Amino acid sequence: MAVPIAIVGAGPYGLSIGAHLRSRGVRFRIFGRPMDGWIAHMPCGMALKSEGFASDLSDPGSFTLERYCADHNLEYRHFGFPIPSKSFVRYGLAFQKRLVPDVEDRKVERIDVSPCGFVLNLDDGEIMTAARVVIAVGLTFFSRIPECLASFPAAYVSHSSDHGDLSRFRGRRVVVIGSGASATDIAALLCDYGAEARLVARAPRLAWLSEALPRPWWQRLSNPHTGLGFGWHHAAYMAVPGAFWYLPGSIRMRVTTTALGPSGASHVRDRVVGRVPVLLGQSLSAAAIRNDQVELTLVGRDGVRRVETADHVIAATGYEVDLERMSLLSDGLRARLNMIGRAPELSANFESSVPGLYFTGAAAAFSFGPLMRFVVGTGFAAPRIARHLDRAFSRKGIKHSVYRASAPNTLQAGGQAAD
């Protein structure tokens, strides 16, 4: 079966794009488990690093996180309140049911180019074609683990994104590597669950986000609080991501890589400092499994070596966009993509060098800036991609089909299919 558009991924970006396309009456299919990255790959008990006002999915109406929390008697504040990930997941699922009811909880295993656009192979054996494809898989393929740990069995080493439940580590000795929000959150949660946690970081000190407290107008003017943090440089990334695209590629890469260094959320600080043993200024030089434990060789900034042992190591070492690791793209399709670093080079409308193939979310950060690494970026990406797709099919004279919200995977009689 052929469709005009296939969206691969049903997280914040995929759902936001779907909501905008649906409002325009553009026919599409969307694949993926709704909010899977937040359900399966974020430990229970964590809270969002972003403020409430910067945690809305994008839709043409006003179905915001604030509105959802008000309707369901959940605590919410624009600033200064850590939104529980559980509340955000519930909001995302409600957004999906209301605005993108036709999500298909199936996995796209392979995408290739065909004369009529793209061929998608699904995990249940279906093969379909689409004129255009939007890749909105978030960070699924991009977890980064230190090279000396990458080949270790999952029983001994994992990435922070591998855990939805940390309770299995109760009574065990766990080393968490990293200094950002994931590392500090996981270290605190491990202690809550009764694990013997230790935090190891290359950084000389732990950085913490400033607490968002009420401030006089002159402080708000000199150091504005944005969806990315404090400061006018963050305000610029928020306000003009389209202008960011015009910068030379080397500048875009440098800014995106360095603009937001690792930092813990302010509300986690008291749960880590004085509670979790922390080894700072330590680089991991080697690792081995001995006596059913992971043995880590660390080198301090002073050159002194030390050995740490653990029952398990969690690498909270972030993500790195690398299309070579995006296994759903065929080799032939990947070879046709122009790259900036290891990410796709995109047009001002998120289209790659392969006509009809779009990337959004983290994969678009080198094109549009650090905004694309956060939920708040959906407000820029989703309407722009939807508008471009709508105009592309309108120019071809393809009539749009309108979805019936109460009946997933069906079309109202008023629309004409574009198969």
Specify if 385 maps to a domain: yes
Over range 301-320, report the average pLDDT: 94
Same domain, 274 and 358: no
Q: What is the mean pLDDT of residues 296-312?
A: 95
Q: pLDDT tens across 172-194, in order?
A: 999 999 999 899 999 999 999 99
Q: For position 214, what pLDDT does the model report?
A: 60
Q: List, for residues 28-85, the tens digit of each pLDDT value.
A: 999 999 999 999 888 888 888 888 888 999 999 989 999 999 999 999 988 878 899 9
106 and 30 in a single domain? The answer is yes
Residues 8 and 99 in one domain: yes
What stretches of 123-233 adopt beta strand conformation (E)? 127-135, 157-159, 173-177, 196-200, 225-226, 229-230
Name which of 118-127, 232-241, 287-296 the model is least confident about.
232-241
- Per-residue pLDDT, 128: 95
The answer to whether residue 332 is domain-embedded is yes
- Same domain? For 160 and 130 the reply is no
Task: Based on the fold, state whether residues 84 and 138 are members of the same structural domain.
Answer: yes
pLDDT, residue 235, reads: 60
Label residues 237-254 b or e (16+ Cβ within 10 Å = b): bbeebeebbeeeeeebbe
Residues 152 and 137 in one domain: no
- Mean pLDDT within 328-356: 96
CB neighbour burial string for 15-53, b if at least 16 within 10 angstroms, e if fewer: bbbbbbbbebebbbbbbbbbbbbbbebbbebbbbbbbbb
Please state, in angstroms and rounded to a whole number, the distance separating the CA atoms of residues 70 and 60: 20
Q: Is residue 287 part of a domain?
A: yes
For residue 226, tell me if it sits in a domain: no
- Between 101 and 370, the more confident residue is 101
Q: Residue 302: is its pLDDT beyond 50? A: yes
- Report the pLDDT value the prediction gives residue 394, as an integer from 0 to 100: 78
- Mean pLDDT for 319-330 is 94
118 shares its domain with 154: no
User: Taking residues 7-27, what's their average pLDDT?
Assistant: 97
In this structure, the answer to whether residues 373 and 330 fall within a common structural domain is yes
Question: How many domains does the structure of the chain reveal?
Answer: 2
Judgement on whether residues 382 and 270 belong to the same structural domain of the protein: no
Q: CATH number of the domain at 69, please.
A: 3.50.50.60
Nearest CA to 44 among 138, 144, 167? 167
Structural domain boundaries enclosing 163: 147-208+263-315
pLDDT at 418: 30
User: Could you tell me where the beta strands, DSSP code E, fall in 94-126?
Assistant: 108-114, 117-122
User: Are both 46 and 158 inside the same structural domain?
Assistant: no
Name the residue type at position 63.
Answer: F
Residue 409 lies in a domain: no
Task: Name the burial class of residue 221, with classes exposed (0-12), middle (13-18) and buried (19+) by CB atoms within 10 angstroms of its CB.
Answer: exposed
The pLDDT, as a whole number, for residue 102 is: 95
- Look at residue 206 and tell me whether its pLDDT is greater than 50: yes
User: Is the domain of 192 the same as that of 269?
Assistant: yes
Give the per-residue pLDDT at 415: 32
Task: Report the pLDDT value the prediction gives residue 341, as an integer from 0 to 100.
Answer: 93
* pLDDT band at 367; cut points 50, 70, 90: very high
Pick from 273, 289, 315: which residue ends a domain? Answer: 315
Q: Would you say residue 404 has pLDDT above 90?
A: no
403 within domain boundaries: no
For residue 294, what is the enclosing H or E element? strand 293-300
| pTM for the full predicted model | 0.88
Residue 361, pLDDT > 70, answer: yes
In a domain, 214, yes or no: no
Res. 400: pLDDT tops 60:
no
215 has pLDDT over 80: no
What's the whole-number mean pLDDT along residues 159-177?
94
On whether residue 155 sits in a domain, the answer given is yes
Same domain, 180 and 97: no
Q: How confident is the model at residue 222 (pLDDT cuts 50, 70, 90)?
A: low
Which of 227, 203, 229 shows the shortest CA–CA distance to 317?
203
**pLDDT value of residue 229:** 61
